[in-house]
Amino acid sequence: MSPARPVHVSPGAAHLAPEVLRLLDAWLPEQRWYPVPTDGVSHEPWLTVTFPGVADVVVALLRLAGPGLAAGPESLVIQVPLVLTPTAEPTADTVDTEAAGLIGTVRTASGTVTVHDGGVHPAAWHAYLAAALPGACEPGDCAEMAGARRISGEQSNTSVMLPALPHETGRGGMLKILRTVALGPHPDVVIPEALTRAGWDGVPRFLGAVPLPAPDAAPGAVPGAPAVPPLAHLAVLSELVGDATDGFELACAYAARDEDFGERAAELGAVVAHLHAVLRRALGPGPGLEPAGFMGVLRRRAAEAFADVPELAPHRAGVAALFDSVSERLSAVAERTGGLVPLQPIHGDLHLGQALYSPGGWKVLDFEGEPQRPVSERVAPDLPLRDVAGLVRSLDYAAAVGQATDPHWAAHAQISFLEGYRQASGEAHEGTVRAVAGAATSGSELDVGTAELLLRALIVDKALYEVVYEFRHRPAWMHIPLTAVERVLSS
């Protein structure tokens, strides 16, 4: 893996005329990846990125400002790659607003320019690829771009399939342009790179990334000088998984046929167990779990969900009682063991859509964490049981969306997944598999009963998050997580 070619960073709106920025103000809120409701939101230029030797590609990094949004260093930043092409004066015959990637044509002080969305434009893909993988794609000679196409349907980022890209282990790459830019090393760069260096093949091989240096950082490395961490990452490049099926689509297809998904679920459970084990080795364990702080976060999330969704009101007491029970058990474990319940790096937003199934088995991807959570929460060490809970919930969604008529389809798939995880973790225990015990927190003294109760609490936490999401975006689906909350609380 070669170091990325440096990009040039300028403060503010360098290289972007005011007319272009006004054009973006109208266009941005209509994009699927735009991360917030649009009322009262403005776009403030923060940094502008250009690529060496590429004149027509400019990346705008815009801070979002408005009611309820953080300001200053904590503000939400979006990445808007643009392809700016000088053009003749626009006429009604030459301006095609339906053209792929066309944002518009504007007159500026330096002439008329046509503005395209770089996320769907080969010129921008070329620039990102050259920055992420030096030597792979030089200006004017880029056979690696043959057959490149954007992946449709993605909502939070923009991914481009590069089937002709050669690399150490084969051919084909996937370029992900990160539409929301979080300060600091991005987890979808740090974690896949660590897993690849560890030799684990359960993740698409990490090939490179495009870091964002500070505006005054000198290009190139000084021999002997310590590495300067990037302000953020703009894109990540990984191997293309051939003949792969999205895990959620696969599970929904099984559910639609009422076909047993147990074998595939058990295989996925084993892969997730291996993921957690390799993460512990590659990135090291985190601190011990502090019960009061851990449960405080769960209670805060629950309070926010109850405040947002009136339909959750009947479950307030049940959630509080469950969390109180978990808090008591965790405090007892911490007192008995001296805090030997270690946290560790995890996926953070693991569901079936974050896994691919191919003839080579399952691969896990997309390590960004839950997009609606604060960045500090998404990158913090956590219990592996949170990932387990996410997949348990995802199997429930697959049964509902796939319209399984077998009432036991989801439960059987969930038990198979948990059993696969338990066996691969090497922490077998007697009796019916209802939770993943000490295997979820290797090296701890977390007993089976506490682990079972904790898994229930994390499933409820995830379901509450889903209720809020569905309430805001897909009200017709809100019954899926609401039913799960009721079911877990009554079990």
**pLDDT digit string, tens, across residues 202-225:** 999 999 999 998 876 544 444 444
Alpha helices by DSSP H, 133-259: 187-197, 247-256
Rounded mean pLDDT of the chain?
Answer: 87
Question: Are 211 and 178 a contacting pair, CB within 8 Å?
Answer: no
Highest mean pLDDT among 147-156, 272-281, 441-450: 272-281
Verdict on whether the full-model pTM lies above 0.85 = yes
Tokens matching residue 285:
């364990």
pLDDT confidence of 75, banded at 50, 70, 90?
Answer: confident
Q: How far from chain centre, in Å, is Cα 298? A: 21
Q: What mean pLDDT do residues 421-431 have?
A: 66
pLDDT confidence of 26, banded at 50, 70, 90?
Answer: very high
The angle that helices 385-401 and 448-473 make with each other, rounded to 10 degrees, is 50
Express each pLDDT in 241-267 by its tens digit.
999 999 999 999 999 999 999 999 999
Q: Torsions phi, psi of 468, nearest 5?
A: -65, -45
The helix (run of H) or strand (run of E) holding residue 357 is strand 355-358
Q: What mean pLDDT do residues 476-489 have?
A: 97
Choice between 443 and 184, residue whose per-residue pLDDT is larger: 184
d(CA 268, CA 97): 44
Express each pLDDT in 273-290 by its tens digit.
999 999 999 999 888 889
Express each pLDDT in 76-124 by its tens digit.
999 999 999 998 765 444 444 445 689 999 999 989 999 999 999 999 9
**Sequence-distant (≥ 6) Cβ neighbours of residue 441 within 8 angstroms:** 341, 342, 383, 384, 385, 451
Tokens matching residue 466:
């889903």
pLDDT confidence of 140, banded at 50, 70, 90?
Answer: low
Q: What mean pLDDT do residues 368-383 have?
A: 75
Nearest by Cα to 17 from 50, 51, 45: 45
**Structural domain boundaries of the chain?**
8-219+229-239, 245-490
d(CA 305, CA 293): 19
pLDDT at residue 375 is higher than 80: no
**Sequence-distant (≥ 6) Cβ neighbours of residue 426 within 8 angstroms:** 439
Write down the residue that tokens 């009422």 correspond to: 258
Residues β-bridged to residue 479: none
Nearest by Cα to 412 from 255, 220, 196: 255
Question: Are 255 and 409 a contacting pair, CB within 8 Å?
Answer: yes
Q: How far from chain centre, in Å, is Cα 398? A: 19
- Interior CA angle at 150 toward 147 and 152, to 5°? 130
Question: Are 214 and 9 a contacting pair, CB within 8 Å?
Answer: yes
Specify the amino acid at residue 93.
D
CATH architecture entry for 245-490: Alpha-Beta Complex (3.90)
Q: What is the pLDDT of residue 432?
A: 34
